[in-house]
Amino acid sequence: MRVLGIESSCDETGVALVDASGDGVPTLLAHALHSQIAMHQAYGGVVPELASRDHIRRVLPLTREVLATAGLALSDIDVVAYTQGPGLAGALLVGAGVAASLGAALDRPVMGVHHLEGHLLSPFLSADPPEFPFVALLVSGGHTQLMRVDDVGAYELLGETIDDAAGEAFDKSAKLLGLPYPGGPHLSRLAEQGNPEAFALPRPLLHSGKPDFSFAGLKTAVLTQVRKLEQQPGGITEPQRADLAASTQAAIVDVLIKKSLMALKDTGLKRLVVAGGVGANTRLREQLNAACEKRRVRVHYPELHLCTDNGAMIALAAALRLQRDMAKLERGGGFEVKPRWDLAQLSEPSRL
Ligand code: KG4
Ligand code: ZN
């Protein structure tokens, strides 16, 4: 069984083809991605209308590219999966519309996938896939959550951010430091030259005793520091910018690690999966690996290029559900998107 996956929830158009024959972990046959970063950079963030229009331009050429790479034809696709939510409504509608049209034209079922379920399950495409159950740290541009994952579709929310997401904290702090969008990778690069202990930045809710997060205060603290440094004669220096970037990254990473360890301790689980764009952060990976090794906890990440949005994770999540007979398949050409959609709502009532 071959599943085509289409991702268009934000600023990346991703298409992929996964083979889910048998019961084994599905394999990735081909994937293609177009990032809109260069287009949105001029505006300092994602412009939803431009994102939608660009998805329209890219999705069919990417689909052709994926099929050509896999050496297959449209008629070889058995199921068409697409990101149904959460995300930008207009952007989601592009992927959903194309998926529904392909399904109708090919007479194949169509399936909506939860974007965060895609991220969460993406490490199953890595060379060292995890086993259930595990704790998942989901750190993307819009979400920061700790989940207990017992199986595909069995997700229990342990804690989440009460305000900004970790990716948002990276992006907003980066903007204050004059770095281009999306700030996370840029801030992380600048931080390599700085001292993470140069500035004492807040680590909100670190001692709350619960696996929850708050990052809004960090951004305010970075703003205060930037303003102070800009007032000195000559303004903020390059070494100071690097120090502030390193200190910001250290504050975010410290909180993510402490709360992940807390969730592991509370659940008694010995396996952690890190997914979402911030999971690409080198300092987070290094420090988390060290902390988990000490506690004999196995950590799994998606392949680096599958940390940020992509079509492979959407095709994979669909394939894993199909293998377990848990897929909600649709026919008839209609479609619906869910710009706001909690991952915990996906859990099968019988499993809770
Ligand atoms: O998962 P993702 O691609 O999109 C969403 O679903 O939101 O995550 C994007 C987020 C952005 O905030 C971006 O700045 C952040 O992931 N990010 C990083 C790194 N790479 C991407 N943050 C820190 N360090 C990185 N290396
Ligand atoms: Zn994402």
| pLDDT tens track for 153-189 | 999 999 999 999 999 999 999 999 999 999 999 999 9
The finding on whether 141 has its CB within 6 A of some atom of ligand 1 is yes
Q: Any binding-site annotation on 44?
A: no
Nearest to 330 by CA among 92, 81, 91: 81
Q: Is the CB of 117 under 6 A from ligand 1?
A: no
For residue 117, give the ligand nearest its CA.
Answer: 2
Q: Is 212 annotated as a binding residue?
A: no
> What's the one-letter identity of residue 77?
I
pLDDT value at residue 347: 78
Q: What is the distance between the alpha carbons of residues 121 and 130, in angstroms, rounded to a whole number?
A: 9
Contact 269 CB / ligand 1 (< 6 Å): no
Q: How far is the CA of 231 from the centre of ligand 1 (A)?
A: 31
Which is the closest atom of ligand 1 to the Cα of 9?
A: 6
- Name the band, by pLDDT with cuts 50, 70 and 90, for residue 348: low
In this structure, of 37-46, 118-127, 339-348, the range with the lowest mean pLDDT score is 339-348
Domains parsed from the chain with CATH numbers: 2-122+307-346 (3.30.420.40), 132-301 (3.30.420.40)
Binding site annotation covers 85?
no
Q: How far is the CA of 13 from the centre of ligand 2 (A)?
A: 11
Q: Find all residues with CB under 8 Å of 100, minimum gap 6, and list them.
A: 110, 330, 333, 334, 335
* Residue where the block lists tokens 């007979």: 325
pLDDT tens digits, residue range 299-337? 999 999 999 999 999 999 999 999 999 999 999 888 999
> What pairing do the DSSP bridges indicate for beta strands 27-35 and 79-85?
unpaired
Q: What is the pTM of this model?
A: 0.95
